Amino acid sequence: MSSNTVTEQLTEAGRKIEHSSFDIVTQEAGEHHYSDDQWQIVRRMIHATADFEFNGLAEFHPDAINAGIEAIRQGRPIVADVAMICVGLSKPRLSHFGVSTHQFISDEDVIAKAQDEGTTRAVQAMRKAQQKGLLNNGIVGIGNAPTALLELKRMIVEEGVKPAIIIGMPVGFVSAAESKDALAEIENIPWIISRGRKGGTTLVVSAIHALLALAESNQSN
């Protein structure tokens, strides 16, 4: 059983259910190629979706785990493509590390610029996050909008933007798989992705919660 306290369920009954679920996932998933820390993330992704295909679809940059843990321990901000990610994350767990969440998808200026320039709100939201100084050394979570991920890669390549880690898991049929393939080409910035069309905000929330748990378990190190 985990010795974590902040990143666990708040009741004993809840903790037992969650840990039993994790055990079932591990037993039914069978063999996998992930490290122990990587499996904690993949296991939560499966737990959140009941989809065992993420045992294989989830992919990690070699530095992703260490970068994610360090960013959380330093209280780096989280920039999300949609509000659902911010709502889904545990406020007490984030507060323990001093991590704030930010999303701009519905801001009036974002909508107006998207309309004027013929882009998506997601593109303009990423640009606004950069203007506010949130992307460099920040944690970026994208679970809905492939255009946000493609714009983020453009800013990395053309403008030298450098997040601490990118969790890129947009879902869908138009550019979702392609946007994640494009992110995986980046070598100097850590990332976690779900290959193919499958993804979603639930997966991003699961991955961040797993990183929070890993950060807590490593706090004494």
Closest CA to 168 of 122, 215, 124, 119: 122
Measured CA to CA, the distance from residue 194 to residue 181 in angstroms comes to 9
Q: Could you give the CA distance from residue 96 to residue 71 in angstroms, rounded to a whole number?
A: 13
Strand, coil or helix: what is 119? coil
Reply yes or no on whether 19 is catalytic. Answer: no
Cβ distance 66 to 88 under 8 Å?
Answer: no
Non-local (6+) Cβ contacts of 20 within 8 A are none
CA 78 vs CA 138, 158, 160: distances in Å: 6, 22, 19
Q: What is the largest CA-CA distance in the chain?
A: 54
CA torsion through residues 64, 145, 56, 183, sign? negative
List the catalytic residue out of 19, 33, 47, 102: 47
How far is it, in rounded angstroms, from Cα 161 to Cα 69? 20
* Angle between helical axes of 121-131 and 108-117 (0-180°, round to 10): 120
Active site residues: 47
